[in-house]
Amino acid sequence: MHLPHSRVLFHPNYPIVPRARHENNRIMEPSTFPFVVASLAILAPFAIHSAVPAFLRVLGRLFGWYLRKKSEGRKHQIINSMLEEDSEEKTNRGNGSLATSPIQEFNTVEGEPAVRRLPANNSDWDGVVGFLHPFCNAGGGGERVLWAAIRATQEQWPKAKCVVYTGDHGANKQEILDRARFNIHLYRPTICFLYLTTRDWVLASRWPHFTLLGQSFGSVIMVLDALSMAVPDIFIDTMGYAFAVGFCKFLFRRMPTCAYVHYPTISTDMLDSLNPESRVGGQGINAGQGVGLRGVAKWIYWMAFAKLYSRVGASVDVVMTNSSWTQNHIQKLWGPYRRLKPERKPITVVYPPVSVKEMESTIQVSAETENRRKKALLYIAQFRPEKNHELVVQSFAELLRRDCPAAKEAELMLVGSVRDDGDSKRVYQLRLLVNELHIKDRVKFRLDASWEEILEQLGRCSVGVNGMWNEHFGIGVVEYQAAGLIVVAHDSGGPKMDIVIDEDDKPTGYHATTVEEFANAYEEALSLPERELVEMRLRARRSSRRFTEEVFARNWTREMEFLVGMVDKKYSY
């Protein structure tokens, strides 16, 4: 049979592919279909990489729109309730203006300097500020920041409404504000508490494994709980739940968000501490655990979490840290991603407020009052493992073993709160350690001491001790200084970088790391001549004035002004 095109079809220079024919029986060129498929296969990952995030963003905006609509009625109800309570308060006081609220009357009575700096363009702002602080009734340093922040906000924007998302179901508004001591007076009508039902999701006890990731996921569940009750105009986290703030930003792109970071969830020092050969390999509760298969797995897990934590931190509009140490670590983690978003405000240090004035008014420091102080070392800290009470006890025992003049009549006071059975067991172990070191008659424990007892100890002791590695700030160390104690603090973290620094080119205290170094510092501090001792106490007190509530209020107001300026009534869903 004659095949006129067989040579063409099977010629070596031609592809061995059958060719289709047109109606006129002419041969077509090879099909482009395989090339299209190959191109799509190559471009598919890039398309998916762009399409999936875009789809998730749209999904997030839709869910945010749903939450806002769902909680809109309750939000209006909360605002109306606040306005009614405010109207009653003003009527009772015979006061017809919010601009002269009771909080400003308190400041006038107490003689505090004016801290209000009302900008002309937003001084009448009357929006809702949401504060995520699920443990607001705990009475610690983090709670002092919360109440001082609310007071500064009320002073600057008298018409603003402050909503606190808390999990303290056992206390009502009156009880919580009554416990918010710290000598911070708040205008109660414009404060509201919304009670979370998901606080246990952020407890470490709920996540015995993969605790960092579990608590971060729990914070997302918790912020959903909060936003389902009321969506604020500005969202602020004052406890360190970065994933909660990031998820809020994911749902509401144009809502101003803020994070006040007391301590990074994970830091470069934590990563380095896993390596026993690193510069910090012997420090922290995870020291040297990065060896072996399990250690390598832990290191990989922490590295992956740090990457995710860094990306989340880049989404927050305003970031405040409580110390230079915290700022450095947050800058290392969040900084590279935040620089990709120039609209983000630079990370700033806003020192927490400390009751410096109360210390100065209660405890006198002079040559005449020196005879009231005993040769006693004071360590005020919760009985948590990271506070490193063992180091303080061992170094005190080392001082006593030297049998030097400074050791005569010296005693150690351990003052702190006991939260649970874990803390009780640590106290028991410390008592055993004290017995083993044969210093039982020189060490005294004061558990769950009242504020009055703490003030008494600050006035009678001579040296204040802090043994925690990488204390993120150290409010207790500032209180030592304000009370006139000579500080011996761990040579790391906030005490090293911000607090125990020179004043007038002269020292205000001592730094130490090892048992020997702490013992040396105790000996030197207890051996100072009276004149030098009083001068150092006074320098330390002057240095502590950098951390007053007035300084905090000014710095907080500066950052809040940026957030208020961002508020846009026309939200994008």
Q: pLDDT at residue 316 above 90?
A: yes
Give the range among 317-321, 354-358, 523-527 with minimum mean pLDDT.
Answer: 354-358
The DSSP-derived string for 416-448 is E---SHHHHHHHHHHHHHHHHTT-GGGEEEEET
Residues 6+ apart with CB under 8 A from 158: 98, 99, 101, 187, 190
pLDDT band at 34 (very low <50, low <70, confident <90, very high): low
- Could you report the per-residue pLDDT of 180-216, keeping only the tens digit for each? 756 688 999 999 999 999 999 999 889 988 899 999 9
Q: How far apart are CA 93 and CA 87, in angstroms?
A: 10
CATH topology of domain 70-114+125-266+312-354+551-566: Rossmann fold (3.40.50)
Instruction: Determine the 3-state secondary structure of 191 from DSSP.
Output: strand
The tally of CA atoms less than 13 A away on the side-chain side of residue 107 is 20
pLDDT value at residue 268: 75
pLDDT band at 54 (very low <50, low <70, confident <90, very high): confident
pLDDT band at 292 (very low <50, low <70, confident <90, very high): confident
Coarse DSSP helix, strand, coil percentages of the chain, rounded to the nearest 5 percent: 55, 10, 35
- Could you report the per-residue pLDDT of 444-461, keeping only the tens digit for each? 999 988 888 999 999 999
pTM of the full predicted structure? 0.81
CATH topology of domain 364-547: Rossmann fold (3.40.50)
- Could you report the per-residue pLDDT of 9-25, keeping only the tens digit for each? 444 454 444 544 544 55
Q: Is 109 or 97 the better-scoring residue by pLDDT?
A: 97
Region(s) of the chain under CATH 3.40.50.2000? 364-547
Residues 6+ apart with CB under 8 A from 549: 148, 184, 353, 354, 355, 356, 357
Q: Which two tokens stand for residue 195?
A: 């009670």
pLDDT band at 40 (very low <50, low <70, confident <90, very high): low
CA dihedral 81, 98, 137, 249 (to 10 degrees): 80
**Residue count (the chain):** 573
Task: Determine contact, residues 329/305, Cβ cutoff 8 Å.
Answer: no
